[in-house]
Homo-oligomer: A and B are copies of this chain.
Amino acid sequence: MAAPLRGGDLSRLRQLNALAAVGTLRSAGPLTLSALAERTGLSRPSTKEVVDELMRLGWVEETPPAQGTIGRPARRYRFRATSGHLVGLDIGGHNIRAALSDLNGEILAETRQPVQPDTPLDERLAAIERTVASCLALAGKTIDDVWIVAAGTIGVVTPEGRIRYCAAIPAWTGLDLAGHLRGMFPCEVLVENDSRLAAKSEAVRGAVRDASDVVFLHVGRRMGAAVIIGGKVHRGFGAAAGEIAMLPQAQLFDASEHLQNCPVIPEDTSPADAAGYTLAAARAGDPVALAAVERYVDDLAVGTSAMVLLLDPQVVVLGGGFSRSADVLLPRLRERLERACIRPPELRASTLGDECVVTGAIDYAVAHIDDRHFTPDVPLPTSR
């Protein structure tokens, strides 16, 4: 782990110069000293001094010279993304997932452990700790290598990381989740709603990297939603946005029952596989399964149309577990939105599937680092 950049060992001015250099290398990629000097506004000698110091502290590294270069190429420097690590957590009703990444959000290891919605609280918390520990072990790291644990969970999460309300996990409502996680992990802890994290990940590395007004449908056994407006995931005044499924008339909350309880599902099928069975049978042309899918999409289209008519997004993304069956669902949803909406949006399938929340938690932590750690909080002085 690199030495902390905000420690008292650098003067304020040198610290700001170092932050400017790290921030620039982080966003602009490998640069020569001259290019870095130009972008930061620092003199060439100051830039050299700052880069030497950052290399000594472990924040910056030299890139290997490009293949086939003739003569002696100028040295190029880049942010050392393994200066620290991030853990992303997805705490759902039926699964706990963890991922470990470097500071650029590159995933180094992933683990998953099934739970049940009614798993007792202490067992669920223990499962979280185990899932993270095995993820760290898988990558040969320890919790001391980790800067941030960012957790996404189903339910309405307050800005302080408490669970205001959770229909999916009975033991969750009222829980100080951030507090419990801070007790578990000796690093910074962030907690966010899972659908919002998934939407962020679609914007950062998924299906809507090119769009800034998006409705994200988090479809699975539980239904969630999130909206991106002007390129930002919308949290709401009390961090409670996205809960349209709570309105019975939106027909979203119980929509998945059509798929979960379809008569085509063999009796011994686990609930975790039931909807998938119906969707596969529909894909194969089973008329009973197809009828169930039509009813499911009828319901899904009501709440989705409400969001589309209200916000007029560029794209609606179908994400979450059921997005694996986007080939079955999207054409049917498109047909209904074209009937109900004035300007039907483009529809896309998630490219992240079940991983969307855990990668979203990582992407949220990366953004947090950029905001808090690599942005000087006063204007950058230029030393000439």
Q: Would you call B306 and A250 a contact (CB within 8 A)?
A: yes
| Across-interface contacts of A230 in B (CB, < 8 A) | 229-230, 232
Q: Which residue of B lies closest to A214 (CB)?
A: B237
| Across-interface contacts of A225 in B (CB, < 8 A) | 310
Q: Would you call A342 and B234 a contact (CB within 8 A)?
A: no
| Across-interface contacts of A92 in B (CB, < 8 A) | none
Within 8 A of B (CB), among A297-330: 302-303, 305-307, 309-314
| Across-interface contacts of A340 in B (CB, < 8 A) | 246-247
A244 CB–B CB distance under 8 Å: yes
Q: Which of B229, B247, B305, B345 contacts A305 (CB 8 A)?
A: B247
Contact with B along A277-311 (1 / 0, CB 8 A): 00000000000000000000000001101110111
Q: How far is the CA of A97 from the CA of B242 in the complex (A)?
A: 37
Using a Cβ–Cβ cut-off of 8 Å, how many residues does chain A contribute to the interface with B? 42
Q: Would you call A343 and B313 a contact (CB within 8 A)?
A: no
Q: How far is the CA of A327 from the CA of B244 in the complex (A)?
A: 28
Q: Which of B164, B242, B251 contacts A249 (CB 8 A)?
A: B251
Given A236-B312, A311-B234, A311-B241, the answer on whether A343 and B306 have CB atoms closer than 8 Å is no
| Across-interface contacts of A246 in B (CB, < 8 A) | 309, 340-342
Given A342-B246, A343-B164, the answer on whether A310 and B241 have CB atoms closer than 8 Å is yes
Q: Would you call B309 and A237 a contact (CB within 8 A)?
A: no
A213 CB–B CB distance under 8 Å: yes
Q: Which of B213, B234, B237, B342 contacts A243 (CB 8 A)?
A: B342
Given A312-B236, A314-B237, the answer on whether A306 and B156 have CB atoms closer than 8 Å is no
| Across-interface contacts of A266 in B (CB, < 8 A) | none
A165 CB–B CB distance under 8 Å: yes
| Across-interface contacts of A314 in B (CB, < 8 A) | 237
Within 8 A of B (CB), among A192-226: 213, 225
Q: Would you call B247 and A309 a contact (CB within 8 A)?
A: yes
Q: Which residue of B lies closest to A241 (CB)?
A: B312
| Across-interface contacts of A237 in B (CB, < 8 A) | 213, 312-314, 343, 345
A168 CB–B CB distance under 8 Å: no
Rounded to whole Å, the gap between the CB of A301 and the closest CB of chain B is 10
Q: Which residue of B lies closest to A235 (CB)?
A: B312
Q: Would you call A342 and B302 a contact (CB within 8 A)?
A: no
Rounded to whole Å, the gap between the CB of A164 and the closest CB of chain B is 7
A171 CB–B CB distance under 8 Å: no
Q: Would you call B309 and A244 a contact (CB within 8 A)?
A: yes
**What are 21 A-B pairs with beta-carbon distances under 8 A?**
A164-B342, A165-B342, A227-B311, A229-B229, A236-B311, A236-B343, A237-B312, A237-B314, A239-B312, A241-B311, A241-B312, A242-B310, A243-B310, A244-B306, A245-B309, A246-B340, A247-B306, A247-B309, A303-B306, A306-B306, A307-B310
Minimum-distance CB pairs A-B, first 6 = A236-B312, A237-B314, A240-B312, A241-B312, A238-B343, A244-B310
Query: Chain A residues in contact with chain B, CB under 8 A?
Result: 156, 164-165, 213, 225, 227, 229-230, 232, 234-247, 249-251, 302-303, 305-307, 309-314, 340-343, 345
Given A241-B311, A243-B309, A249-B306, 20 more pairs with CB closer than 8 A: A156-B343, A164-B343, A213-B236, A225-B310, A227-B310, A230-B230, A236-B311, A236-B343, A237-B312, A237-B313, A237-B345, A238-B343, A240-B312, A241-B312, A244-B306, A246-B309, A246-B340, A247-B309, A249-B302, A303-B306
